[in-house]
Amino acid sequence: MGDYILVLDEGTTSTRAMLFAPDGSLRASAQRELTQHYPKGGWVEHDAAEIWDKTLACACDVTEEVGGASQIAAIGITNQRETVVAWDRETLEPLSRAIVWQDRRTAEFCAGLRDAGHEKEVQVRTGLLLDPYFSGTKMRWLLDNDEAVRNAADSGRLAFGTIESWLVAKLSGDTHISDASNASRTLLMELGGAQFDEGLCELFGVPHGALPSVVDNAGELAIAKKEWLGAEIPITGLAGDQQSATIGQACLNPGETKATYGTGAFVLTNMGDAIPASKNRLLGTVLYQLGGERAYALEGSVFVAGSLVQWLCDSLGILETASETEDLARSVPDTGGVMIVPALSGLGAPHWDAEARGAIIGLSFASGKAQIARAALEAMAHQTHDLARGFAADGAPWQSLRIDGGMSANDWMAQDIANMLNLPIERPALVETTALGAAMLAATGAGLYPSLEEAASAMRGELSRFDADMDDSIRQERLAQWAKALEAT
């Protein structure tokens, strides 16, 4: 048997399959775009059958490329979190469209629960907020509004799950599980509870019996049937995408932190075995569970990161490509007083102001696209600095930051983040840290490495480092300008 790890990385806009060697190098990769369905304002749906078909097709492509299933030791899965699939336990056919994490249709239901005074209790028990983002209220919506889902519930055939659960059910044909990192995004599991919680299920109106069993993130979790790839292959690693990226960045000790800069930005700090209790509206989540023992993380997100640069390209048309921002930022000594607050869709943690809107302030006749591009990149450091304050106030100060995601390729931005945080920044050569984390888990689960720590140190590639190099007076002046700009929104 070969020792490749097959990772299925099921994202929001596309699904991919990647083959990693045990040293962490990437040997093959295939990708297919997914159809986004927007049936109404605020609604976002996926076709779960399409997700399965395209994920399997990608897996077949890369398996063929290396000479067949005999080359593969194990499968790892990482996925868009919170998205809900409902299927028939017996036929394994989807009963409805999947409701995607971005979907806001349960906003009113969440507001009702908040008005009834449930938020505090829910936050303490689950680490989450009463927001449509999380899975529980989406399940309830399906039961209330979809006849096929309701009928399946009545006849005991309903299975609910997040995407890793759905893919494991299809691959194995008989296993209904969810890993603890994904389960911790549903509102239905207590951070310290081993399984989904009967009381929380009752609060959200979700039948406990329709939910999967909660399992470790690595181990002999299920077996993919021979009919899919030509041989039975054990599924030995599962994790939600942000937790997987945190593992892929080897943030395995308390305090270690990663930030992913893509469309938005996601920051997670390893909290060890301490259950996080945020006073700054950060989220508490399971980072991973091994042998029944959990490591937790504190999580904060920024809604607008790379999408600000995309907006400068697509809507304002002042840039052709996102990467131009780097040379433009270097071409001027400063922004000449221009500041951008990228609250184009509200402000995320630690502000949590959905109604806030963006601002560009400090414009003069000397302001050109270089100043605006530089201000856009500077906004990333400022938003990250706001998060750093929130994390520190919650008892999780950062000692360094490990960055990844498409936008992290920008060296000027990486240096500016180091300067503003006054911390060293590390960036791996391979920014596919999400898939790499699932590969590390699967390699551990398959016994290729005796521990996750050993898998991480063997599989993590080369790093670039950016050290702070800024006068504190300049830093303080920028922070003061940012505070003023925030007030203006």
Which residues of the chain form contacts with ligand ADP (CB under 6 A)? 262-263, 306-307, 309-310, 322-323, 325-326, 405-407, 409-410
CB atoms near residue 199 (< 10 Å): 12
Nearer to ligand ADP by C-beta: 183 or 407?
407
Nearer to ligand ADP by C-beta: 96 or 408?
408
Nearer to ligand ADP by C-beta: 159 or 343?
343
Nearer to ligand ADP by C-beta: 131 or 326?
326
- Rounded CA separation 275/202 (Å): 23
- Rounded CA separation 21/29 (Å): 12
- Rounded CA separation 247/242 (Å): 9
With 0-12 / 13-18 / 19 or more C-beta atoms within 10 angstroms meaning exposed / middle / buried, residue 224 is buried
Question: What is the gyration radius of the CA atoms in the chain, in angstroms?
Answer: 22
Shortest reach from residue 254's CB to ligand ADP, in Å:
27
> Where does 36-106 have alpha helices with state H?
48-65
- Rounded CA separation 346/352 (Å): 8
Nearer to ligand ADP by C-beta: 310 or 345?
310
Nearer to ligand ADP by C-beta: 249 or 325?
325
Which amino acid is located at 268 in the chain?
L
With 0-12 / 13-18 / 19 or more C-beta atoms within 10 angstroms meaning exposed / middle / buried, residue 95 is buried
* The two three-digit tokens of residue 249, written as one number: 């960045």
Shortest reach from residue 364's CB to ligand ADP, in Å:
25
Shortest reach from residue 126's CB to ligand ADP, in Å:
25
Shortest reach from residue 365's CB to ligand ADP, in Å:
26
Which amino acid is located at 307 in the chain?
S
Q: Give the largest Cα separation in the chain, rounded.
A: 69
CB atoms near residue 32 (< 10 Å): 16
Nearer to ligand ADP by C-beta: 63 or 325?
325
Strands (E), 383-455: 401-404, 425-428
* The two three-digit tokens of residue 57, written as one number: 């097709």
Nearer to ligand ADP by C-beta: 201 or 312?
312
Nearer to ligand ADP by C-beta: 320 or 462?
320
Shortest reach from residue 117's CB to ligand ADP, in Å:
35
Shortest reach from residue 408's CB to ligand ADP, in Å:
8
Shortest reach from residue 83's CB to ligand ADP, in Å:
15
Shortest reach from residue 476's CB to ligand ADP, in Å:
26
Q: Which residue, among 316, 310, 363, has the nearest Cα to 340 in the 3D structure? A: 363
Q: Confirm if 263 and 305 have CB atoms less than 8 A apart.
A: yes
- Looking at residue 131, the DSSP 8-state letter turns out to be -
Shortest reach from residue 174's CB to ligand ADP, in Å:
33
Which amino acid is located at 176 in the chain?
H
Nearer to ligand ADP by C-beta: 229 or 309?
309
Shortest reach from residue 448's CB to ligand ADP, in Å:
28
Find the residue with minimal CB distance to ligand ADP. Answer: 406
- Rounded CA separation 402/390 (Å): 18
- Rounded CA separation 180/162 (Å): 11
